[in-house]
Amino acid sequence: MYPTEAILLEKLTKVFYARQKKVIALEDIHLSVKEGEFLCIVGPSGCGKTTLLRILAGLEKQTRGKVIMRSKNPEKPLTSMVFQGDSIFPWMTVVENVAYSLRIRGFSREKRREVAGQYLRLMGLDGFANAFPHQLSGGMKQRINVARAFVSDPEILLMDEPFGALDEQNRLILQQELLKIWEGSGKTSLFITHSIDEALILGDRIMVMTAHPGKVKAIVPINIPRPRDILSLRSSPNFGALFKEIWQLLQEEVLKAKSTEMNK
């Protein structure tokens, strides 16, 4: 019997060797993500969040354990990752960047422009199609980053703190736009963030991780109905209670991570 979940992780463990020292990045991660679910991952720095996403993206291999991902349509790519930081190709124009996955899959130039054009409009990048990234602001670049992942139309979307480097205003705007696009697509998504606010706004569930080694501490369901709106969301009574719950879980871990760092 095959599992029906989109992602199933069993006893996933990743061990690094950094300067002859053994570092356990992830230990016995158990996780199941339903199809169409938006899972946010929070945890102190260095808890292996990024490593987890890189394993799912096929950029790294686990040391032990099972990773099962269900692919409904072999024509589509299994995963697309929105990387942390600046990963937009500086040598390609905006439209070439957004359509990159289509070029890899051998689509014609016209088809590429057509599909990318839709997402450029959705992300408010109209009129910047032929600009080069160095002419754009950080917020614009992250729009391209997100659009590039959506254009590839993957089964699973992996986002590693895509809005981490943005200012508050840009962040709010992009969160709202991501909500809009994502709620329209219904893609299974994993989203790493440092911001509890952001996790509550976007996620169906929030996974809180422990540090050194990275384990699952708790998974909290977010029962806020969709479609969501950032403004009304913050004033809902649930929001405050959930924020408190997540922060209490996270606070312990952040303090623990601090004290182990000091003992080194």
Partner 1 sequence: MSLLEEHIHETFGRIIIKEEKGESKTILIDKTFILKVLAFLSPSLLLLLWEIFARLGFIDVRLFSSPVMIFKTMLPMFYSGELLYHTFISAQRILLGFLTGAVPGVILGLSMGLFPPVRASLMPMVAATFPIPKLAIMPLILIIFGLGEASKIFTIAIGVFYLVLINTMAGVLNIDDIYLDVAKNFGATPFQFYSTVAFPGALPMIFAGFKLGMGTALLLIVAAELSAAKAGVGWMVWRAYDMFDIEKMFVALITMAFLGYIFSYLLDMIERMVIPWVNNRR
Backbone angles phi, psi at 260, to 5 degrees: -70, -35
- Coarse DSSP helix, strand, coil percentages of the chain, rounded to the nearest 5 percent: 40, 25, 35
Closest CA to 121 of 151, 91, 100, 101: 151
Helices and strands (H, E) in the chain, number of each type: 9, 9
CB of residue 84 vs partner 1: minimum separation in angstroms? Answer: 9
Choosing from 80, 175, 188, 193, the residue that interacts with partner 1 (CB under 8 A) is: 80
3-state secondary structure (DSSP) of residue 245: helix
Give 75's DSSP letter: T
Under rule CB under 8 A, residue 87 binds partner 1: yes
Closest CA to 13 of 36, 29, 1, 30: 29
Choosing from 59, 68, 241, 255, the residue that interacts with partner 1 (CB under 8 A) is: 59
Query: How far is residue 184's CA from residue 5's CA, in Å, rounded to a whole number?
Result: 21
C-beta of 83 vs 128, nearer to partner 1: 83
CB of residue 192 vs partner 1: minimum separation in angstroms? Answer: 15
Per CB under 8 A, which region of 95-103, 179-187, 228-236, 250-258 contacts partner 1? 95-103
Choosing from 17, 91, 168, 262, the residue that interacts with partner 1 (CB under 8 A) is: 91
Query: How far is residue 255's CA from residue 211's CA, in Å, rounded to a whole number?
Result: 10
C-beta of 103 vs 194, nearer to partner 1: 103
- In the region spanning residues 149 to 208, those forming contacts with partner 1, defined by CB under 8 A, are 152
Per CB under 8 A, which region of 4-12, 80-88, 172-180, 235-243 contacts partner 1? 80-88
Asked if residues 192 and 49 have their Cβ atoms less than 8 Å apart, the reply is yes
CB of residue 59 vs partner 1: minimum separation in angstroms? Answer: 6
- In the region spanning residues 119 to 148, those forming contacts with partner 1, defined by CB under 8 A, are 132-134
Asked if residues 207 and 37 have their Cβ atoms less than 8 Å apart, the reply is no
Give me the residues that bind partner 1 (CB under 8 A), please: 57-59, 77, 79-81, 83, 85-87, 89-92, 100-101, 103-105, 132-134, 152
